[in-house]
Structure 1
Amino acid sequence: MQDSITEGYLPDDSNAPDYIHALPEVHYPEQLNVVDELVDRHVREGRGDNVAIYFEDWTLTYEELQEQVNRMGNALHDLGVGAGDRVVVRFPNRPEAIVSCLAVQKIGGVALPSMKLLRAKELEYIINNAEASAVIVYDDLLDEVENALPDLETVDDIVVAERNGIDHSYHSYDELLDDASDELEASETARDDLALMLYTSGTTGRPKGAIHTHRNVLATADSYARYCLEPTEDDVFGGNPPLPFAYGYGDLVTFPLRFGASTSLVEDAEPADLLEAVDTHGVSVLCSIPTGFNQILSRHPDGPEEYDVSSLRLGLSAGEPLTPTTFENFKSEYGIDLLDGIGTTEMLHIFISHRHDEEIDPSATGFPVPGYECKIIDPDTGEDLERGEPGLLAVRGPTGIAYWDRPEKQIEVNEDGWSIPGDIFVQREDGRLEYKSRSDDLIISSGYNIPGPEVEAVIEEHESVSEVAVVGSPDDQRGEVVKAFVVLRDDASASDELVTELQNHVKNTLAPYKYPREVEFSENLPRTETGKIRRTELREQEH
């Protein structure tokens, strides 16, 4: 039990979300260890020879994965890592990352995957805030950990996976594995003990640690994946979301391992690498963000002819709104639907989506995922709004927004037990939920509320446009005006005539007041490590 370790850092009854366990599959026993369910159970039930992980030209079966997890778990235990201890895991998408996270969780610790592009100052804040006791790191990412080390207050041990010949004086990942026993019983953790901590990107202030229990982690698979994707052990999940991204952790760790399926990992994947993985690993469920799917289409127009993509049955998209244009273009080329989904680091995975076997309307995100409830509320009064009225999304289900040691933020994101992710939605008469914008992406111009992503989706339809971001730019008369930052396709050129074309296209498609009064052509758009457009940076630039 972790109570004594985490006491004082978790939300209390006054500001914690209400967890709703409506599905029978999320009624877990009080004693629950996520690794016993994701790995050990498959070995017990005779699936030990199934491939758990594909990476480059080699495979790791469930039995082999169990052995490596056990060895690393024993090694960490020998170093003094115990129940409730937070351990930072810093890797690109490699098998060692999965082994390390599962080993921490199996001995009752809390895995804290770290984005690989974080600098020393960012690592210093996160590690000290989480009071992490150890860091397991890929040798090529060790430098920023070392730069932060003089200011780290709680780290006792650093374990380095030596893959690139980087000199160091810390524990060797491989030597620890070699010296440790391959026998390990899962810790008798409670279902509500912490298993995973993921830090938000911090684009609007200090990063916040989103905390998730053993029950929360499994529930994402037993709600969204089970009902919307219907995986089997024959599926191979692949894609390029980073494992420390909640979306990537679910797609490439929790979902395949929950169902005895396989995960295909590609380190630092480019579009060609993803197509190669589909071809060689037989990927059936391809996970990415809209930018990733657009890059596959634009950089590899002959992709379906160059690679064997016949194994594909479904695509998953999150992180940014998926436009109907991208949906239709990818379906036309690859013959599969892309399921758009809204999820957050705090909610752990997707809670609004279509299901793979129902009629998909690409202009809407979809329905509440089975096990979740959603409603639209007035941002000012908190009152429920009628269908068709835009407002703030409120959601509850088997996961909810809970922060580590941030009581002031905890109050902001909960309303009578409902979690408030900060998105503006409309619920249509047919029950589908249509995304409008993040609450801070709403542009208010001359009293009109204009969702930036709605304008982006229309501009993206133009044949000259590769990518676009829309934000509000200060204006003395209107308060704000709509401004579009446009990245053109290689065969298009910036001109005043093209600006007028784009403006008229928006005027002819949406209410005329939504058209971009300013258009700036850019070579690229600022993005987070997970691929999301940093609209905050563009807004700050304008201000």
Structure 2
Amino acid sequence: MQENVPESYLPDDGPQLIHPLPELHYPEEINVATRLVDRHVEEGRGDNVAIRFGDAEITYAELRTRVNRLGNALKERGVEPGDRVVVRFTNRPEAVVSCLAAQKIGAVALPSMKLLRAKELVHIINNAEASTVIVYDDLLDEIDEALPDLDTVDDVIVVQRHGIEHDHADYDDLTAAADDDLDAHPTTRDDLALMLYTSGTTGQPKGATHTHRQVLATADSYANYCLNAAEDDVFGGNPPLPFAYGYGDLLTFPLRVGATTSLVENAGPGDLLEAIENHGITVLCSIPTAFNQMLSKFPDGHENYDTDSLRLAVSAGEPLTHNTFNRFKDAYGVEIYDGIGTTEMLHIFVSHREGQEIDPGATGYPVPGYECKVIDPDTGEEVPRGEAGLLAVRGPTGISYWDRPDKQAEALVDGWSLPGDIYVHREDDRLEYKSREDDLIISSGYNIPGPEVEAVIEEREEVSEVAVIGAPDEERGQIVKAFVVPIADAKAGEDLTETIQTHVKNTLAPYKYPRAVEYVDELPRTETGKIQRVKLRERERDQHED
């Protein structure tokens, strides 16, 4: 079994962590699984519903039994503290059980995105030196294809739900034969509990490591102070559990307060509306694309489904535009709380708080427990209010890469983490998003944030989706280029291009308008729904070089 933690994770090389809130002061010995599950049973909340999945309900008492059985089975099969355990599922209860079981015995859960192919899995699993894979049979084929090239995996456990033949260990057989009782391994607060790999929007996926107290801290800071998470809440949505955003929204946050998580496999906008009605979702978590799809594909969704349970919505992954915020509030009567978080930081660290007046033009304030400043990327010095620069963050979580000392050094300045986003710190203390650092377009000496142009183009009713990048240009260095997915009955062509360009010129400084517009059927996206602008930039660069 592989237990060694790379030197790149040692505290001297890691971020400067701060714990300014009393909720963030954890005992030296702590295990995240016991805090998310066992504690509720011991304190009389065992009958609370922890998970709703379709028509099924799993109470906290039942969840503890399932976690204990799988934890015992993993120990019997040789999984040791510190081992990395790959958890490969859609959003199903077994995924939650598998992560918690690994963590309870002191191992490290490594959730895997469902759409990853064998080649990608080989890179991630070998890099993490994982010993065990727990996999849904519907996603087994890529694991089987990858197996000959996996250097450290010596056990595969399959959750068989579709009758797919396999010659691996069977999850149900193992858990049925295992004991119901399990004492948690005496993990410390700084032992690793979770590894998540970046989605690869800017290159090869990197492993981000998170400790037991860092997982808990996301709930005790953001979910506690910004969402006012409570026992009677039902968290639901469609971010995948292996996505840091989804892991928090659908696992950590509800289980931290004894609330309920609503899990839906492969959820489209209609599935989300059904889940709101059937599961009584109170906090809906998604990305701007999904909110827009709910509004466009189900324009009467708020009338055809019972959505009265909703008290707020949460958005992350892509910038939330004024248009989406206002349309959703008008239709569903709740506000969307935009937030910025990253796989490396584990969850949202800038947001408005429930009860605050939301300015849709800003992401919000630093989440309680975090500090933010905007710096000059060249000097590292803080820039004046109102001036754009690179966001630097410090808090109870920070950027710690697995075995990537080169990237680790680039990700920190004086212990502050650099998520890679361009922001303005406004005079009203709010932080206003401009772009990803690599989405900043420099044209004829002007700095143009691509998402700012996207938000204006999206205001046009003819536009379904849009991505804006800097395309190489001999004269200007770069020009603003928009890739537009028009709505079904819009006529793409010169007239629409002129309409879009004029609208941007009339809304923003004229130099920000897209000098080129290309119409496409769809935009390249990661599995988490983020637009892969890097692919568009690479394509433009390749065409320019040809």
Shorter-chain TM-score tier: over 0.9
Matched residue type, 1:475 = D
Residue from 449, 456, 459 that aligns with 1:458: 456
C-alpha separation in 1, matches of 2:498 and 2:361: 25
1:440 match: 438
Matched residue type, 2:278 = T
Q: How does 1:338-353 map to 2 (within 5 A)?
A: 338-353=336-351
2:41 match: 43
Matched residue type, 1:483 = K
1:481 match: 479
Structure 2 residue 524 is the aligned partner of structure 1 residue 523:
no
1:538 match: 536
Contact 2:372 2:392 in 1 (8 A): yes
C-alpha separation in 2, matches of 1:482 and 1:339: 29
Q: How does 1:16-35 map to 2 (within 5 A)?
A: 16-35=14-33
1:245 match: 243
Q: SS where residue 6 of structure 1 aligns?
A: coil
How far did 1:9 drift?
4.1
How high is the TM-score relative to the length of structure 2? 0.98
1:64 match: 62
C-alpha separation in 2, matches of 1:188 and 1:314: 37
Q: Which runs of 5+ in 1 are unaligned?
A: none
2:206 match: 208
Q: How does 1:172-251 map to 2 (within 5 A)?
A: 172-251=170-249
Matched residue type, 1:429 = E
How far did 1:356 drift?
1.3
1:292 match: 290
How far did 1:86 drift?
0.2
Structure 2 residue 404 is the aligned partner of structure 1 residue 410:
no
What's the CA shift string for 1:283-305, capped at 9, x where partnerless? 00000000000000000001011
How far did 1:422 drift?
0.5
Contact 1:482 1:516 in 2 (8 A): yes
How far did 1:14 drift?
4.1
1:258 match: 256
C-alpha separation in 1, matches of 2:151 and 2:440: 40
C-alpha separation in 2, matches of 1:348 and 1:89: 17
More displaced stretch, 485-494 vs 421-430: 485-494
How high is the TM-score relative to the length of structure 1? 0.99
How far did 1:186 drift?
1.2
C-alpha separation in 2, matches of 1:274 and 1:285: 12
C-alpha separation in 2, matches of 1:80 and 1:5: 12
Contact 1:15 1:414 in 2 (8 A): no
C-alpha separation in 2, matches of 1:358 and 1:135: 44
Q: Which runs of 5+ in 2 are unaligned?
A: 542-546
Q: SS where residue 232 of structure 1 aligns?
A: coil
2:544 match: none
How far did 1:201 drift?
1.7
C-alpha separation in 2, matches of 1:193 and 1:325: 43
Residue from 140, 146, 149 that aligns with 2:147: 149
Residue from 361, 368, 371 that aligns with 2:369: 371
C-alpha separation in 1, matches of 2:251 and 2:282: 15
| Percent identity of equivalent pairs | 70
2:421 match: 423
Contact 1:367 1:432 in 2 (8 A): yes
Contact 1:200 1:345 in 2 (8 A): yes
How far did 1:101 drift?
0.3
C-alpha separation in 1, matches of 2:205 and 2:493: 40
Q: SS where residue 140 of structure 2 aligns?
A: helix
What's the CA shift string for 1:432-469, capped at 9, x where partnerless? 00000000001010010100000000000111111100
C-alpha separation in 1, matches of 2:201 and 2:147: 24
How far did 1:126 drift?
0.7
1:383 match: 381
How far did 1:13 drift?
4.3
Contact 1:354 1:360 in 2 (8 A): yes
More displaced stretch, 320-329 vs 12-21: 12-21
C-alpha separation in 2, matches of 1:129 and 1:516: 41
Residue from 13, 19, 40 that aligns with 1:15: 13
C-alpha separation in 2, matches of 1:14 and 1:54: 42
Contact 2:8 2:408 in 1 (8 A): no
C-alpha separation in 1, matches of 2:311 and 2:199: 31
C-alpha separation in 2, matches of 1:52 and 1:133: 29
C-alpha separation in 2, matches of 1:60 and 1:50: 9
C-alpha separation in 2, matches of 1:277 and 1:88: 28
Q: SS where residue 156 of structure 2 aligns?
A: strand
RMSD of aligned C-alpha atoms? 1.0
Residue from 264, 281, 297 that aligns with 2:279: 281
C-alpha separation in 2, matches of 1:327 and 1:268: 24
What's the CA shift string for 1:310-330, capped at 9, x where partnerless? 000000000000001000000
How far did 1:417 drift?
0.4
C-alpha separation in 2, matches of 1:208 and 1:474: 28
C-alpha separation in 2, matches of 1:493 and 1:96: 46
Matched residue type, 1:274 = L
C-alpha separation in 2, matches of 1:354 and 1:374: 14
Matched residue type, 2:10 = D
1:138 match: 136
Cα distance change on mapping 1:203 and 1:376 into 2, 3 Å: same
C-alpha separation in 1, matches of 2:508 and 2:354: 29
How far did 1:5 drift?
2.8
Q: How many residues align?
A: 541
Q: SS where residue 308 of structure 1 aligns?
A: coil
Q: SS where residue 255 of structure 1 aligns?
A: helix
Contact 2:208 2:401 in 1 (8 A): yes
Cα distance change on mapping 1:43 and 1:10 into 2, 3 Å: farther
